[in-house]
Amino acid sequence: MATGPCVFCAIVAQKEPANIRYEDDEVVVFDNMLDWSPVMLLFIPRKHMTQDELWNNPSLLGRIGKLATKMGHEHCPEGFRILSNFGFNAMQTQPHAHIHVVGGRHLGHYVKL
């Protein structure tokens, strides 16, 4: 996982560029810089917290979940995935809590690694 300054905190503070799709007092949604799917949205709390802290905050997680499904249907009407990575083996690269909405094409079958 990345160490040092938090790039997501810098996006929230408008010190790093991002294509913001939605923001309110608690949540910011922006395009992921990765390009392995046509739609890759990141949903983050404004406040820096870990994945565990987000997933153990029912109110905030519920708000993000509701927003993720709404925007998923808007941007990926044929279907999408909602993902959340926890730790190195799950390929979590940012320490700031976040949830992905991925879609815009057929995502294929899960592969056995």
Summarised one tens digit per residue, pLDDT across range 42-99 is: 999 999 999 999 999 999 999 999 999 999 999 999 999 999 998 888 888 899 999 9
Question: What's the CATH code of the domain at 85?
Answer: 3.30.428.10
* Domains: count for the chain: 1
Query: Is 112 inside a domain boundary?
Result: no
Query: Is 109 inside a domain boundary?
Result: no
Distance CA 54, CA 65 (A): 11
3-state secondary structure of 53: helix
* Residues with catalytic function: 98
pTM: 0.91
Q: Say if CB 76 and CB 17 are below 8 A apart.
A: no
Distance CA 26, CA 70 (A): 17
* Residue the block writes with tokens 């790039």: 7
Q: Per-residue confidence at 2, pLDDT binned at 50, 70, 90?
A: low
Position 110 scores a pLDDT of 78
